[in-house]
Amino acid sequence: MPVRALKPGYQGEMKDRQENFHGNQVVYVGWDHHLMFCAAFAYPLPPEMPFGALIQEVMPEAFSQHPEWDQVNWNSVVWQLDGQPFVPQMDVALAEQGIGHKSLLRFKTPELNGFQNAGV
Name the residue range of residue 83's domain: 23-117
We report the CATH number of the domain holding residue 40 as 3.10.20.560
Q: Is residue 68 part of a domain?
A: yes
- Judge whether residue 3 has pLDDT over 80: no
Q: Is there a contact between 106 and 40 (Cβ–Cβ < 8 Å)?
A: yes
**Count of structural domains within the chain:** 1
List, for residues 32-55, the tens digit of each pLDDT value. 988 888 899 999 999 999 999 999
Spatial separation of the C-alpha atoms in residues 52 and 15, rounded to whole Å: 29
How confident is the model over 50-98, as pLDDT tens digits? 999 999 999 999 999 999 999 999 999 999 999 999 999 999 999 999 9
How do beta strands 78-81 and 103-108 pair? antiparallel
Domain assignment present for 93? yes
